[in-house]
Amino acid sequence: MSTPTADIRHDWLQSEVMDLFELPFNDLLFRAHQVHRLYFNPREVQISTLLSIKTGACPEDCKYCPQSVRHDTGLEPETVMDVEAVLDAARAAKNGGASRFCMGAAWRSPKDRDLDKVIEMVKGVNELGMESCVTLGMLNARQAERLKGAGLDYYNHNLDTSPEYYKEVIQTRTYEHRLETLENVRSAGLNVCCGGIVGMGETREDRAELIVQLANLPTHPQSVPVNNLVQVPGTPLDGVEPIDPLEFVRTIAIARIVMPKSVVRLSAGRTEMNDEMQALCFFAGANSIFYGDKLLTTDNPEAARDMALLKRLGMQTTEPRQTATA
């Protein structure tokens, strides 16, 4: 097998990505790890913490989401958190080793009065010397520009799955809606955090097409979260056949190959992964994790377990940025 090049492409075909999926497992991981070393220190992992700043009562019908008002999951809706409570959580995250603080709100799209409060949170997180990220649903161009003006670093808006499988998961928002939000975010000069969810009953072809959609965006997302579906009782996808662990690792490896400069994050679903599976993902090119006991409303591995695993693997976390006000 030839040595990978440093070429950044935006013209991937689904057939090419399917060919990567068909490679022998060790050959695929070897290639992905070579690419990873071209752009990253393979011993470093970026740590992010995710906080739900407004929980539940979302009008969308995403079949995987316990926060949808359409699913009976026993989740009690909550109003937007106070700014100081959010910043207290951010301080605790930074003290625990996180370098990026992500805030999620269960909205279809934020109202201007909602954005006013979020902007206060963003400014406070930046003053702590952390990178800031929010996920608030669909954004128009003016809202994206306001967030950029507030100093927001990243906006998260996932494509979730392939265009073909999307309608099997979500009916209340189109794929085009998601692409429009990403365009608004890019045009405002914000970093894009965009990935998807696997294990929702999709085919390998769907996973390949999701990767193609991400890789062929005008600019590769600076951060690519790969979520392994967390099955929540009361959601329509509870009971779906889980993805094979090695297929998940393959997905990480291929994301690394086709988006070589992007940070690839192990996101939801790590509670179902043993240490060996996570170690394979790191070798395959994953170099970011969510850190803490919760991801919005679902469980996440305890922080102590994460740090113990990284120590066993001889890996280290990236440092939060320092500012005069940190």
- Residues belonging to the active site: 58, 62, 65, 102, 133, 193, 265
Distance CA 249, CA 256 (A): 11
Beta strands in 232-295 (DSSP E): 263-266, 288-290, 294-295
Taking each continuous run of H as one helix and of E as one strand, the counts in the chain are: 11, 12
Distance CA 322, CA 319 (A): 9
Name the residue with tokens 């068909």: 22
The length of the chain, given as a count of residues:
326
3-class state of residue 223 by DSSP: strand
Comparing CA positions, the residue from 47, 118, 31 lying closest to residue 320 is: 47
Contacts of 2 (CB under 8 A, 6+ apart): none
| Neighbouring C-beta atoms of residue 205, cutoff 10 Å | 15
